Structure 1
Amino acid sequence: MTSQRPFDVEYELTRLTQRLRRRSMRIVEQLHPELDYGTYLFFLGICEAPGEVRGADLAESFGVHKSTASRAVSTLVRLGLVEQTPDPLDGRARLLTPAGPALAQLNAARTDVQRRLEELFSGWDADDVAAFTDLLHRYNDAADATLD
């Protein structure tokens, strides 16, 4: 690897990150005009959980203080994006799930993103798409391993 290549990688990752952030911000605006990006990330965490999730579990997975997660959850409930029910195992805790309409909006936005990706990759060879996917997966695994 030449000395310039790491800067090329950083530059391209920055471009990708900025593009993803812009796309996410469009989804945030569609979900609710009062929703901010940080709270949206908590919404995604709730949507991607394999069932109901507790706010404390979100705080742990995001590596933030419970009060931060609590504020985000309160905002999501107030905006009607998340529903909460008492945890039968701990009456003080609440179990969180995405509200049906909000989840439907998110899924519609994700379907639109998938359609755009299919258009973007329409001129690519299937092997190139597979290689790109494999390399992104490899990069993300390596990055995840260094964060822990």
Structure 2
Amino acid sequence: MFVVEKQMTGYSCDVQQVLTESDVTRHSGVGAVHDELVRLLRQLVADGRPEDGAPTFAQHSLLTFVARNPGCRATDISDAFHVHRSTVSRQLRVCIDEGWVHAEPGPLRTGHPLTLTATGGRVLDAATAERLEQVADRLGAWSDMEIESFADLLRRFRRSADRPHAVGTRQ
């Protein structure tokens, strides 16, 4: 067995794990994937501050959900995104105040049906186009085959979260 100590970038503690020899190579790869996912999420959420009048990453996600699910309620968004309803309510309040989302009258207990306004549709279209342009810029030097492969790998990674599996087992 090996004892691997590593200072994790962006974290304030040393991580110590006991690994078998065969796990050392896999662990370094899994650690690298984790680190890159953390960096990417930070870029998407924190570094990508929008210009005035543009939605944040969270608001863009909410607008997209409402556009795809007219009449949905805050509880539907909370369930779909696996976040607390108060988190959705804060983002939703900004979207309503900006005139991007309209909350229909309805019983408070079940939440108000939500629809995207015409302004919200224009803001969502512009933000989506900007985000797609940013992705295209990053992929500019990649071949079509590399882009397709990357999309397939991301899709596979995302879908693996939907498969039931026991903790500590490998698929």
Structure scoring higher RCO (CA < 8 A, sep ≥ 6) equals: 1
Asked if the contact 1:31/1:102 (under 8 Å) is kept, the reply is no
Q: Which has the larger radius of gyration?
A: 2
Which one-letter code corresponds to 1:18 in the other structure? R
1:77 corresponds to which of 57, 71, 96:
96
How high is the TM-score relative to the length of structure 2?
A: 0.63
**In structure 2, do the counterparts of structure 1 residues 137 and 20 end up closer, same or farther at CA, with 3 Å as the change threshold?**
same
Are 1:113 and 2:137 counterparts? no
Are 1:12 and 2:36 counterparts? yes
Asked if the contact 2:44/2:57 (under 8 Å) is kept, the reply is no
Are 1:45 and 2:65 counterparts? yes
Structure having the higher helix fraction is 1
Distance (whole Å) between structure 2 residues aligned to residue 118 and residue 65 of structure 1: 33
How high is the TM-score relative to the length of structure 1?
A: 0.71
Structure 1 spans left out of the alignment, 5+ residues:
none
Instruction: Give 3-state SS (helix, strand or coil) of 2:92's partner.
Output: helix
User: How many residue pairs end up in the alignment?
Assistant: 140
Distance (whole Å) between structure 1 residues aligned to residue 93 and residue 43 of structure 2: 29
Return the offset for 1:44: 4.0
Instruction: Give 3-state SS (helix, strand or coil) of 1:97's partner.
Output: strand
Give the aligned partner of residue 100 of structure 1: 118
Which one-letter code corresponds to 2:142 in the other structure? W
